Structure 1
Amino acid sequence: MVGDAMRRGISGGEKKRLTTGEMMIGPSKALFMDEISTGLDSSTTFQVLSCLQQLAQVLEYTVLVSLLQPAPETYELFDDIILMAEGKIVYHGPRSCILNFFESCGFKCPRRKGAADFLQEVLSKKDQEQFWSLGDETYNFVTVDHFCERFKACNVGENLAMELLKPFAKAHNSALSFSIYSLSKWELLRVCFAREFLLMKRNAFIYKSKSLQVSLVAALTGTVFLRRHLSDDRTRANSYMSSLFFALIFLIVNGLPEIAMTLKRLPVFYKQRDCCFYPAWAYAIPAFFTKIPVSLVESIIWTCITYYLIGYAPQASRFFRQLLVLFLMHSTALSLFRCVVSYCQTAPVSSVGSTLSLLFILLCGGFVIPRTSMPNWLKWVFWISPMSYGEISLTGNEFLTPRWKKVMVSGDTIGKSILMDRGLDFSSIFYWISVGALIVFILLLNIGFTIGLTTIRPPGTSQALVSRDKLTIIQGKDFEDMVNKRPKLSKANMDTPNIIGKAIPFKPLAISFRDVNYYVDAPMATREKGYAGGKLQLLHNITGAFEPGVLSVIMGVTGAGKTTLLDVLAGRKTEGIIEGDIRIGGYRKVQETFARISGYCEQTDVHAPQITVWESVVFSAWLRLPTEMDPEIRHDFVKEVLETIELDEVRDTLVGLPGANGLSTEQRKRLTIAIELVSNPSIIFLDEPTSGLDARAAAIVMRAVKNVAVTGRTVACTIHQPSIEIFEAFDQLMLIKRGGKLIYAGPLGHNSCKVIQYFQAIPGVPMIKENYNPSTWMLEVTSPSTEAYLGVDLAQIYRESSLYKENDAMVKQLMIPSPETSDLHFLTQFPQKFWEQFKACLWKQCLSHWRSPSYNLVRIVFVALSCLLFGVLYWQQGNIEHINDQKGLFTILGSMYCTTLYIGIKNSQAVMPFVSVERPVMYRERFAGMYSPWAYSFAQLAMEIPYVAVQVLVFLFIAYPMIGYEWTATKLLWFFYTMFCTLLYFLYLGMMVVSLTPNSQLALIVSSMCFITQNLMAGFIVPGPKIPKWWIWLYHMAPTSWTLNVLFTTQFLYNDDKNIMVSGEVIPMTSFVKNNFGYSRDLLPLAAVMLAIFPVLFGTIFAYNVAKLNFQRR
């Protein structure tokens, strides 16, 4: 499995190779590849680029590659070089001529420096001077524009200009390809079908969960509407009408998980569509047809369980006709949600679009508002709601049977009377007309889905930032002074410590470990290939140590186990079996204490997207530095860290989402390091700190890391493809081969002499070439292919070497505590008190919410739009003077049911992706020991309160007067209180469900189960007094039942003189409502208390789950 941030899968380097391989396989003759070496070791990068070189030279491919830190041997593979700076081409021509060009400009590449590193640094104002070769002339900064002019004037530039001036040969066949896609239409469809079935198989748990959910809700529905007597009277007919309506609602809402599943796949679809893997229709058709079995199975389950429990018409033909309609309604719902996602594209907007669609379908479907009660100028909307046709066909299928032919006093049959009340009195032929209409809806929605996938561009990305330096130039300030204040990149400067470690005291500590093993469950694919054991060993008896003041590096080929070792030592693994002895300062490691004195920069840069660089680092410092520290010292420390990592230029920039907006890859990497550095750790682990960085940015980062080590801290890094300078900045090397076996641990020596001597002493190992990168040579001579060619086991050679014995003796010594030292101990688990943690988390949540208009503004706009819709459809029907009969009362109760349920569901759906995005960040911060999960949870809960209050105020100002509710202070306050508690408990319910589930798809399934239960037990579809006694407890547990109770009671049950017409008889409204719905003023105090209890209960469960559950698999 590829995996993601929450699911364990292949390594970062393997993912990058997978992306490269995906693009190389196919008929494309032009390959454009951006930073394909990120996450790969230098040996693997060389192999990949060698393959691309063969494609270019042998098969005549056109290959354009951008690289960040190419090793010299990788750089030598290229024929032409395009060097860019400030959006301008500085050089474009043969690789062999580029160094001569810069020598002609007065700059020379040093002997032990890679040409690629030189080319990136020579254009930088901060680093250019060190390469000046004309000693007899005064150095002045050479601008990019000057280099461009020199290039145009040189032979290479002139030749390029002449080549571009040549006209296109008209005789040449200009068609690069005669077909857009590699396969025929039939083959494209077949391959996409095969992939859909494979994904369904991999997501079998989701579909099994949905089937179980359908079974449980069907059993609940069947027993709620259970036929307990044989009489077919009007009361029973109303119950049947409600049960049919609920069946439609359930099968529509049950399609909501399709939103998350489609959204998750959209980025991959857009990539493959734009690369002409397949057209949109080849994706859309299988997406529809593969869901037909799902719709069929769920409809069969529902119909088989409910049909005879409820006691519908006993004829077999009626059973299958109901099954057909439910199947079509479920297919319509899935098609609708896929269509909405194809146009909305993002989770917040899709949530709004889907909920508005649901609301429209529900309100115009003929049950909540009967067709006869709709305003005349709006009755046409009844015919554009799919639910209308579902209602017509299902009710006609049931109420036009002989059992409902009994004639009433009015002269109409019971069936005809029920259908007339709802405006559904159509002839039997309308069953097939409705079936045809639903099929047309399915076709139109899938056509719309296909058009959306074909025409809509993927969500725009923007990572263009204006730095503070560039802004200074724009504002006309003195840029020269700002630049001169920055340190230059030079080898001498790599050894210059700064304020880090001087301003704040810390305790130097060594970490030692012996015989560390790590096992995970063998993947199913591995077992199918004949792997006998149930466990897969990823680390084999790793023994070593990292000492204070020593900069250590862990290296190995991609997938060797470098990150795994760091995760095990740092205590970040959440599954698997760890064996071995790990000690800190000679004492056994205690994870809670270790988190206080350590920092871990993960390979994946996980940050809150809606806060700035400065705020991210301040937040870390606020929570991780000692309480007694003076705020000014903390502020200065944060400022110095940002300057050291060179992030102060973008300190006010929002972090953003990876690959979408905000910081670039290398800026995110430096932010990760800055967040850990401000914690003032004694031990710091950095996993791939230079991955995704260009040579200059990597040098900046490694200079900062070197400075940290010089202060006496213990620093260990994993690294893939270091330049010579970066590699030789390390003091100690730990080399791991594939399979997690140690093959070298010891010093590098001057110019890597110790490492070179060790491996060249092994018979058959080739000598290193002059000026060759030692790290690349080392990885090449220790690769599995070289090891197999030499017929040796490098791990065994190391275990038998004198170096291993020296290391073993050193580890034994470090594992014995010094007499003058004591074990680490802190009075509190966290650096800050609980209240301080809460304030910091609330501050961060406040910033994130305020800068998330796609979440907060969208849900407020949704409330405003919903209010307008409610106000138009229920115009003045809430005026007590207009409620004169049972139908009017039922209609206004329906308005309360719709407003509370569907605005509440929207709140719940909107918060789920927001909390899901924050969850990986919370896991990182919790592992780092920043705060108690309870403080984080309570801050997140508290931050939602003002936004919910705004939603309620919007409702009060728009829908309240339009519907015609009474404007009195008491009723306004009751309405505000009720709606506030309702929207809050729905929102906290969504947060609670996310905290209970590992992914968004399962969260939507669980939440839809909750929504359906609250829908059924709200007291509208089935009034409380009519619910069977074995389910009455569930009615009282449903929050929506208390909401409707309070809303209706406070609005209409304080007028004892109000009478209504019921079946030709005038009776007091209070007595009718009490007998039929169970609402009365006596229950109001209890109902008000229950409304306050539910948000507290759901919020507490959310906080408990956040504290106790961890769904991150590492």
Structure 2
Amino acid sequence: MDSQTHSSSMEECGRNPPQDAFSVDIESKAVTDTHLMNYTVQNFVWSGVTVTVNDNKTGQPKAILDNIDGLVEAGEMCALMGPSGCGKTTLLNVLARRDAAASAKVEGAPLINGNHPTLQNFRRLTSYVEQEDALIGSLTVKETMHFAARLAHKNSLSKTERISRINALLESFGLKAQENNIVGTPIRKGISGGQKRRLSVASQLITAPKILFLDEPTSGLDSAASFEVMSFVKDIAKTNNLIVIASIHQPSTTTFGLFDKLILLSQGKTQYFGAVGGIDQHFASLGFPMPTHTNPAEFILELINIDFATDQAEAEARLQTIQNGWSESSGAAELSTMIDSASQPTDLLPPTKPSTRTFFVVLSTLVHRSFVKSYRDVVAYGIRIAMYLGLAIMMGTVWLRLDADQSSIQPFINAIFFGGAFMSFMAVAYVPSFLEDRATFVKERANGLYGPSAFMLSNFIIGLPYLFLITILFSVVVYWLSNFNPTATAFFTWIMWLFLDLVAAESLVVLMSSLFPNFVVSLALTAFANGLWMSVNGFMVPPHILNVFWRYVFHYIDYQSYVFQGMMVNEFEDRSYSCGTDCNCMYQTELASQCRVAGTAVLDQYGFKTGRTGKWVGILIGIIAVYRLLGLLVLVLRKK
């Protein structure tokens, strides 16, 4: 594609080419952190990359990738193509120094300027854009860029420098007009799919990486949007000497023409590596001339894809011919010579400089971002507040103005159980919001921005004020409508128990969603766990007659049981109830002569002791801590 055609195509997409001054903005702004910023990456080389796993059926070693070589130089874009299952994503993960596959044996490490950089240096020189846009939908485009900059390792930029670089990136990626638009949530429409992909790339370029890995950057986009995204990336790569390696599936002719090099894989082996412009000549020399007016990407993919061939033997013979043709070609020999030359260290990496970020800086940034998300995203807490208010009105009107009469004792008990248990159960509404946060965490953790401790702690901190607000709103409506123990001390004690109940319930959601990061599965398991806790919390069956298995295995670790006990003691410890006009008391207590029932008789019936509030609060806090620590452990052990 010549420059005139390229310029015309960009104008058709409704933008102008980025200004040359962008190279200054992306490179020279980080004047206070130059230990890697000024390092020049001349080439990125990999040789003999082999990935082996044990076959599930035979138990024998199976090569997913077999002796893959490649070299990409500064300013070049390299396409990684092949049929499904050929090893594209595995190779991209190996090159990006990520986990290739479960229990895989990896041979061959990538080199930067002939050096083996430490993982910390490698992370600072590279960025990885996932196939799925793990963006926070309730943030604006500009806020997404700001938080990406604040979380980056090179956060020694001043505020003015950071804003300048963000504005340059937004301008260069054609997002300046959308900077104040939200990304988009299931409820609120945001920017388009192509704009989201551009934003994903731009947010990774905020740290001015030298190498950019893109996993299926055009997935889910039409041909026009695909060309639009990749042309932006190409301009940035050329202007800033950025190396771009992208796995891509069947691009259009115009999008394919944007790449400088191509590595073609099939059955884990190299079928071609070289200039995109050399494809015609190479395949023609093997007896596979490309028809005119044909998409070259489609043509070569059809040649090497044998999965759906009607004549399998013929297809395998054709693939073997292509593979042998490449391994015996002058291009393969030239590549080997270039790799040998580039594998000699020419420019040593500077020593690793400790990051200027502290745990507190990362934590405060995550809390700030979560706060913005929480008050904008109605799915996170808005819907839950509406649900809880609806439940409060329903509950307060059903148990309306209960009298201090023995006939109201059982309704009071029922109301205590219903309020605590169902408030806890409705915490399942937090599942989708946490899964979105978790997806963002997985992406940012893989890029080395922060770890699970900061994520889990920020998630816990941001939830506390909202859960307390929900507790207050619910209690103000229910407590006084239902006529619970009408003292200030009892009211605020109720609030304490309900707040701890909600914190424990949300911590359970976090644990389940961390273990099983699938909406349906985590929702079902959380609901099941809450059903279990309701069954053994002491309301359905008093603890002292509960089956020993359920009592000793589950009752004592049931956070709802401590909430129920605490609320029961709060209601009945210091309260008495009239026995009615006939003075026929349901419970015989020391107040029988006064024709009243002491509330302590109700507690005795359930086997609940008074004076244990501090102990129960401590146990409940311990259960919350265990849920959170287990959730943290799951995040530490799971990388995806």
* Structure 2 SS opposite 1:1081: coil
Alignment check: 8 A CA contact 1:933 1:1106 kept: yes
Map of 1:256 onto structure 2: none
Aligned-pair CA distance for 1:645: 0.7
Map of 1:650 onto structure 2: 178
Map of 1:565 onto structure 2: 91
**How far apart in 2 are the matches of 1:1041 and 1:671?**
48
Alignment check: 8 A CA contact 2:420 2:498 kept: yes
Q: Aligned in 2, Cα 1:919/1:574: closer, same or farther, shift over 3 Å?
A: farther
- 1:1089 and 2:618 matched: yes
Aligned-pair CA distance for 1:913: 2.3
Alignment check: 8 A CA contact 1:587 1:823 kept: no
Q: Aligned in 2, Cα 1:1107/1:802: closer, same or farther, shift over 3 Å?
A: same
- 1:508 and 2:27 matched: no
Alignment check: 8 A CA contact 1:518 1:576 kept: no
Map of 2:595 onto structure 1: none
Return the letter of the residue paired with 1:515.
G
- Of 447, 451, 459 in structure 2, the residue corresponding to residue 932 of structure 1 is 451
Deviation sequence 1:677-725 (CA, Å, 0-9, x none): 1122121112333451544762464244343344233222234455666
Map of 2:154 onto structure 1: 626
Alignment of 1:999-1014 (within 5 A): 999-1014=518-533
- 1:838 and 2:367 matched: no
* Structure 2 SS opposite 1:678: helix
Alignment check: 8 A CA contact 2:127 2:447 kept: yes
- 1:538 and 2:64 matched: yes
Map of 1:517 onto structure 2: 50
- Of 452, 462, 468 in structure 2, the residue corresponding to residue 949 of structure 1 is 468
**How far apart in 2 are the matches of 1:996 and 1:1109?**
9
Alignment check: 8 A CA contact 2:53 2:103 kept: yes
- Of 825, 846, 849 in structure 1, the residue corresponding to residue 352 of structure 2 is 825
Map of 1:667 onto structure 2: 195
- Of 544, 548, 564 in structure 2, the residue corresponding to residue 1044 of structure 1 is 564
The TM-score normalised by the length of structure 1 is 0.51
Alignment check: 8 A CA contact 2:283 2:289 kept: no
* Structure 2 SS opposite 1:553: strand
**How far apart in 1 are the matches of 2:514 and 2:214?**
29
Map of 2:628 onto structure 1: 1099
**How far apart in 1 are the matches of 2:447 and 2:484?**
53
Return the letter of the residue paired with 1:573.
A
Map of 1:601 onto structure 2: 129
**How far apart in 2 are the matches of 1:919 and 1:798?**
43
Deviation sequence 1:895-938 (CA, Å, 0-9, x none): 1011100111102x111222123322221111111212111111
Map of 1:873 onto structure 2: 398
Map of 1:902 onto structure 2: 422
Aligned-pair CA distance for 1:960: 0.9
Alignment check: 8 A CA contact 2:49 2:107 kept: yes
- Of 804, 821, 827 in structure 1, the residue corresponding to residue 332 of structure 2 is 804
Return the letter of the residue paired with 2:261.
Q
Let me know the Cα RMSD of the aligned residues: 3.5
- Of 70, 86, 110 in structure 2, the residue corresponding to residue 583 of structure 1 is 110
Runs (5+) with no aligned partner, structure 1: 1-70, 72-109, 127-485
Q: Aligned in 2, Cα 1:1049/1:773: closer, same or farther, shift over 3 Å?
A: closer
**How far apart in 2 are the matches of 1:628 and 1:557?**
43
Return the letter of the residue paired with 1:1047.
M
Aligned-pair CA distance for 1:591: 4.3
Alignment check: 8 A CA contact 1:516 1:578 kept: no
Map of 2:79 onto structure 1: 553
Alignment check: 8 A CA contact 2:154 2:207 kept: no
Q: Aligned in 2, Cα 1:810/1:1064: closer, same or farther, shift over 3 Å?
A: closer
- Of 277, 288, 303 in structure 2, the residue corresponding to residue 765 of structure 1 is 288
Alignment check: 8 A CA contact 1:1053 1:1080 kept: no
Q: Aligned in 2, Cα 1:721/1:848: closer, same or farther, shift over 3 Å?
A: same
- Of 490, 510, 515 in structure 2, the residue corresponding to residue 971 of structure 1 is 490
Alignment of 1:163-174 (within 5 A): none
Q: Aligned in 2, Cα 1:727/1:1005: closer, same or farther, shift over 3 Å?
A: closer
Alignment of 1:11-50 (within 5 A): none
Deviation sequence 1:167-226 (CA, Å, 0-9, x none): xxxxxxxxxxxxxxxxxxxxxxxxxxxxxxxxxxxxxxxxxxxxxxxxxxxxxxxxxxxx
Return the letter of the residue paired with 2:262.
L
**Percentage identity across paired residues of the two chains:** 21
**How far apart in 2 are the matches of 1:721 and 1:498?**
34
- Of 707, 710, 716 in structure 1, the residue corresponding to residue 236 of structure 2 is 707
Return the letter of the residue paired with 2:414.
G
Alignment check: 8 A CA contact 1:494 1:706 kept: no
Return the letter of the residue paired with 1:508.
T
**How far apart in 2 are the matches of 1:670 and 1:503?**
22
Number of aligned positions between the proteins: 614
**How far apart in 2 are the matches of 1:605 and 1:659?**
17
Alignment check: 8 A CA contact 1:1018 1:1041 kept: yes
**How far apart in 1 are the matches of 2:496 and 2:225?**
59
**How far apart in 2 are the matches of 1:1097 and 1:746?**
54
**How far apart in 2 are the matches of 1:765 and 1:688?**
27
Alignment of 1:1045-1060 (within 5 A): 1045-1055=565-575
Aligned-pair CA distance for 1:853: 1.7
Alignment check: 8 A CA contact 1:553 1:732 kept: yes
Alignment check: 8 A CA contact 2:280 2:289 kept: no
Q: Aligned in 2, Cα 1:723/1:984: closer, same or farther, shift over 3 Å?
A: closer
Deviation sequence 1:857-901 (CA, Å, 0-9, x none): 222222222222222222222x5x32x3xx532331121011100
- 1:1108 and 2:627 matched: no
Alignment of 1:144-543 (within 5 A): 486-487=16-17, 497=23, 499-504=25-30, 505-509=37-41, 510-519=43-52, 537-543=63-69
Return the letter of the residue paired with 1:512.
V
Alignment check: 8 A CA contact 2:153 2:449 kept: no
Map of 2:594 onto structure 1: none
Q: Aligned in 2, Cα 1:833/1:1054: closer, same or farther, shift over 3 Å?
A: same
* 640-649 vs 572-581, greater mean Cα deviation: 572-581
Deviation sequence 1:328-378 (CA, Å, 0-9, x none): xxxxxxxxxxxxxxxxxxxxxxxxxxxxxxxxxxxxxxxxxxxxxxxxxxx
Return the letter of the residue paired with 1:603.
Q
Q: Aligned in 2, Cα 1:740/1:1061: closer, same or farther, shift over 3 Å?
A: farther
Return the letter of the residue paired with 1:538.
I
Q: Aligned in 2, Cα 1:1012/1:610: closer, same or farther, shift over 3 Å?
A: same
Aligned-pair CA distance for 1:630: 1.2
Alignment check: 8 A CA contact 2:22 2:168 kept: no
Alignment check: 8 A CA contact 1:706 1:729 kept: no
**How far apart in 2 are the matches of 1:913 and 1:496?**
38
**How far apart in 2 are the matches of 1:112 and 1:596?**
36
Alignment check: 8 A CA contact 1:727 1:775 kept: yes
**How far apart in 2 are the matches of 1:832 and 1:111?**
43
Deviation sequence 1:41-68 (CA, Å, 0-9, x none): xxxxxxxxxxxxxxxxxxxxxxxxxxxx
Deviation sequence 1:353-406 (CA, Å, 0-9, x none): xxxxxxxxxxxxxxxxxxxxxxxxxxxxxxxxxxxxxxxxxxxxxxxxxxxxxx
Map of 2:378 onto structure 1: 853
Alignment check: 8 A CA contact 2:253 2:297 kept: yes
Aligned-pair CA distance for 1:634: 1.0
Q: Aligned in 2, Cα 1:578/1:631: closer, same or farther, shift over 3 Å?
A: farther
* Structure 2 SS opposite 1:930: coil
Map of 1:179 onto structure 2: none
The TM-score normalised by the length of structure 2 is 0.85
Aligned-pair CA distance for 1:845: 1.2
Map of 2:602 onto structure 1: 1073
* Structure 2 SS opposite 1:854: helix
